[in-house]
C-alpha cells in the first residue's frame, strides 16, 4: 500500500518499478509516486513480494536500468568538468543548487542512467574536481558575511541576520532590538523582558507569522528548531524551521544512506523529489532525510522519518548505524544556512523493495554526482562522505585530504 502526502500531484506520467510477479520485468506506476516522501516500505516485500534483479546492472556494456519516462530529458554533454544543464534557460549551476530551487527540475531516470555510465566520460574516473564543485555549491558567499549582523542572546552569538532583513524587525520593538554601535558594527538581540525560552518562542513566533504574511519568510512548516550555541547545549528558544536561515542559526538534520550489498558490489537506494516540493523540486534525494526538531533525539528522529518517508519499519531502521556528521555554510541573499547533518548507514536486505526508488550501483551514483547537478545539493556531501568511508575515494586520488576536510566546511559543533 503506497503512502501519499499532500504535496503529491497525481499526474498521468508513467514511472517504472520492478514487477511483483516477474523479477527483472518493468511495470509502470503513476509518476506521482516517483518521489521520496510519498512511498512506503512494505515489510512483506522483504521476503515474499519481489526479488530485485541486481544482476541486470551488470549484464550489459550499456546499462539501461532506468527505463524511459515522459519527463523532459536533459541534453547530456560529455565533459568531465562541466555540469549537465537543462534545455531551458535556468541552469542547474553551482550558483542555484544550494539555494531553495523553486522551478521543477526536469530530467528522466534515463538521463540519470546515461550520465552514470563509465563510458559517458571515461577520463574522469580518477578526478575529484566534480566532487569539489558540489562541496563548493553548498558553501557559497563567505565573502558576504560582513553584510550580516550577529544575533546575540545572553551575550552569545547564536546566529546572523542580514542587515536589510534586520530592518524588518525594527517595527517589533517589544521583541527585537536592532542596535547600531559604531564600535561593534551593530547586532540584533531580543528584548530584555523576554527572559524564558517559552516567552521568547511565543514572541518570536508571532513576529514570524507577520513576516510570513508579508511573504518575507516563505514556506512556513509549523516545525520548531532549537536555537542553541552548540549541539546538546541549553536551548535559548525555538524558532520556526522556515525562518532558520533568515536568522542564521545552526540547524541540524539526519541523512541516511540506504544500501544493499550483493556479490561484493554495493548499491544505493535513490529517490526523486516531488515536482511540487517548495525546495529542490524534482531532484534526486536520499532514501531518508529530515530536519532535527526541538525535543527529539537523532536516532528517534531517524526512525520517525524512516516510517513517514519510506515506510521502513522500526525493526529495520533501528539497525541504522550513526557514522559521523558533515557541515556546510551557505549565504544566498538574506539567507545564511549553517547546517550540520548527522549521517547514518542502513544496510538493507538484497531481496527487498522500496517503492518508487531506484537501486543504483554506488560507483554509478558517484558518476552522477561528479557529472551533473541532479541531486539535492546537501545530499551530495553526505554521499561523498559515504564514498570515503566505503573505500570508493582513496588516498591515491589527488586532493584526497582537501576533499575530506571540505566535508566539514561549516561550524560542525
**What pLDDT was estimated at residue 125?**
63
pLDDT tens string 92-143: 333 333 334 444 568 999 999 999 998 777 667 668 999 999 999 999 999 9
Mean pLDDT for 300-308 is 95
Burial 366-379 (b: 16+ CB within 10 A, else e): bbbbbbbbbbbbbb
In this predicted structure, the answer to whether residue 39 has a pLDDT above a threshold of 90 is no
Q: How many helices (H) and strands (E) does the chain have?
A: 11, 15
In this predicted structure, the answer to whether residue 82 has a pLDDT above a threshold of 50 is no
Q: How far apart are CA 247 and CA 150, in angstroms?
A: 9
Find out whether 377 and 136 touch, Cβ atoms under 8 Å.
no
In this predicted structure, the answer to whether residue 202 has a pLDDT above a threshold of 70 is yes
Q: How far apart are CA 305 and CA 303, in angstroms?
A: 5
pLDDT tens string 231-277: 999 999 999 999 999 999 999 999 999 999 998 899 999 999 888 88
Burial 134-170 (b: 16+ CB within 10 A, else e): bbebbbbbeeeeebbbbbbbeeeebbbbbbebbebbe
Q: How far apart are CA 308 and CA 38, in angstroms?
A: 9
**What pLDDT was estimated at residue 204?**
98
Mean pLDDT for 342-363 is 87
Q: What is the pTM of this model?
A: 0.77
CB atoms under 10 Å from CB of 177, counted, come to: 16
Q: How far apart are CA 303 and CA 292, in angstroms?
A: 12
Domains delineated in the chain: 105-138+250-412 (3.90.79.10), 145-249 (3.30.750.160)
Mean pLDDT for 210-220 is 96
Amino acid at each position: 500500500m503506497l503512502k501519499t502526502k499532500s504535496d503529491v500531484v497525481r499526474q498521468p506520467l508513467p514511472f517504472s518499478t520492478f514487477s511483483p510477479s516477474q523479477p527483472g520485468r518493468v511495470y509502470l506506476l503513476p509518476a506521482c509516486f516517483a518521489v521520496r516522501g510519498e512511498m512506503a516500505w512494505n515489510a512483506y516485500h522483504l521476503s515474499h513480494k519481489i526479488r530485485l534483479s541486481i544482476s541486470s546492472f551488470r549484464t550489459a556494456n550499456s546499462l539501461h536500468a532506468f527505463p524511459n519516462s515522459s519527463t523532459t530529458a536533459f541534453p547530456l554533454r560529455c565533459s568531465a568538468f562541466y555540469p549537465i544543464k537543462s534545455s531551458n534557460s535556468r541552469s542547474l549551476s553551482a550558483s542555484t543548487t544550494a539555494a531553495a530551487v523553486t522551478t521543477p527540475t526536469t530530467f528522466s531516470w534515463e538521463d540519470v542512467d546515461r550520465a552514470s555510465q563509465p563510458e559517458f566520460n571515461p577520463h574522469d574516473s580518477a578526478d575529484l574536481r566534480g566532487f569539489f564543485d558540489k562541496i563548493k555549491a553548498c558553501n557559497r558567499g563567505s565573502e558576504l558575511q560582513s553584510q550580516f549582523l550577529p544575533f546575540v542572546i545572553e551575550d552569545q552569538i547564536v546566529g546572523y541576520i542580514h542587515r536589510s532583513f534586520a530592518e524588518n524587525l525594527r517595527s517589533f520593538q517589544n521583541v527585537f532590538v536592532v542596535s547600531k554601535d559604531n564600535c561593534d558594527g551593530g547586532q540584533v538581540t531580543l528584548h530584555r523582558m523576554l527572559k524564558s525560552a517559552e516567552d521568547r518562542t511565543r514572541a518570536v513566533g508571532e513576529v514570524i507569522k507577520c513576516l510570513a504574511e508579508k511573504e518575507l519568510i516563505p514556506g512556513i512548516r509549523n516545525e520548531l528548531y532549537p536555537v542553541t550555541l552548540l549541539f546538546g547545549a541549553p536551548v535559548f528558544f525555538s524558532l520556526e524551521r522556515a525562518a532558520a536561515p533568515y536568522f542564521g542559526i545552526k540547524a541540524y538534520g539526519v541523512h541516511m544512506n540506504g544500501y544493499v550489498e550483493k556479490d561484493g558490489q554495493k548499491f544505493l537506494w535513490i529517490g526523486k523529489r516531488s515536482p511540487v516540493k517548495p525546495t529542490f523540486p524534482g531532484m534526486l534525494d536520499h532514501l531518508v532525510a529530515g530536519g532535527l526538531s526541538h525535543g527529539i533525539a537523532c536516532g528517534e528522529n531517524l526512525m520517525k522519518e524512516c516510517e513517514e518517508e519510506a515506510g521502513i519499519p522500526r525493526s529495520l531502521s533501528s539497525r541504522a548505524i550513526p557514522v559521523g556528521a558533515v557541515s556546510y555554510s551557505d549565504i544566498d541573499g538574506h539567507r545564511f544556512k549553517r547546517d550540520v547533518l548527522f549521517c547514518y548507514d542502513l544496510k538493507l536486505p538484497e531481496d527487498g523493495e522500496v517503492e518508487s526508488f531506484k537501486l543504483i550501483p554506488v560507483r554509478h551514483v558517484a558518476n552522477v554526482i561528479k557529472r551533473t547537478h541532479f541531486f539535492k545539493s546537501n545530499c551530495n556531501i553526505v554521499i561523498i562522505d559515504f564514498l570515503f568511508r566505503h573505500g570508493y575515494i582513496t588516498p591515491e586520488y589527488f586532493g584526497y585530504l582537501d576533499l575530506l576536510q571540505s566535508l566539514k566546511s561549516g561550524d560542525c559543533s
